[in-house]
Amino acid sequence: MRTLAMGGLDAPSKLWHSMSDEELMWRASTSPHVVKYTYNRPPKLVEWGKASMIDAERRLLANALLDFSNERFILLSETCIPLFNFTTIYNYLINSNQSFLSSFDDPRRIGRGRYNKQMSPTITINDWRKGSQWFEVHRRHAIGIVSDKKYYPIFCDHCRPPCYMDEHYLATLLGKLLHPELNSNRTITWVDWSAGGPHPKTFTKKDVSEAFLSQIRYKSNCTYNGSVSSICFLFARKFHPSSLEMLERLAPTFYGF
């Protein structure tokens, strides 16, 4: 996974540092009240479905926040592709008044059924939300994520498989607990779940075509800054490395280069 930070034109000159996670989160939060964390230092090992995935995301955000010119923060993976050129994506995000993170109330066993009553009263069943980990957030939300010492420890203690933090922590935090009015409750990263199962469909070379990408780009309806828009997704996943050849052929049409 990786974050793409938008704002300043100059990239940070130094990406590696010797700060501990605790110091990193404190510096990135820019919040004087964040004195120390009430839980142990997050591990560096990242495992699917475990709290370590959120630990890694928070470290990525914290590092990006150290550059005060960065205003928007996007979590992407190696299987994500952009659906528009940089200028279009930049303008869409920098002019938005909300973050883009999927968050919804899922009454099923894989939604509300994962809620642990031991989270109450700090986090109630009415607060509980589900969503995708592939976020795009503005700086205010990013600071809130790295400086959260109220809800994060509760999730670490009480959201363990079959509860998966990457599907519930950010969705609950931004959807209900931390400036929910600033979240659109939708994602800008398109995926295909039609096949069922725990993972979305992976697209290969034979799946990629101009018609396929055009459908993803324009065949949706959503709200953007209070108005209806047909541009709802800026990225898509999951794309196999074999799809790169076709994507390069279509680049002049879709990206203008």
Model confidence over 33-58: pLDDT tens digits? 444 544 444 747 888 888 999 999 99
What range does the domain containing 128 cover? Answer: 2-187
Radius of gyration for the chain, computed over Cα atoms and rounded to the nearest angstrom: 19
Domain annotation covers residue 132: yes
The amino acid occupying position 177 is L
**Confidence category of residue 10, pLDDT binned at 50, 70, 90:** very low
Task: Give the pLDDT confidence score for residue 256 in this predicted structure.
Answer: 86
Domain annotation covers residue 120: yes
Q: How many structural domains comprise the chain?
A: 1
Domain annotation covers residue 198: no
Task: Give the pLDDT confidence score for residue 8 in this predicted structure.
Answer: 38
Task: Give the pLDDT confidence score for residue 206 in this predicted structure.
Answer: 96
What span, in angstroms and rounded, lies between the C-alpha atoms of 250 and 252?
6
Domain annotation covers residue 221: no
Domain annotation covers residue 207: no
Domain annotation covers residue 201: no
Give the contacts of 167 (CB within 8 A, at least 6 positions apart).
Answer: 130, 131, 132, 133
Domain annotation covers residue 232: no
Domain annotation covers residue 183: yes
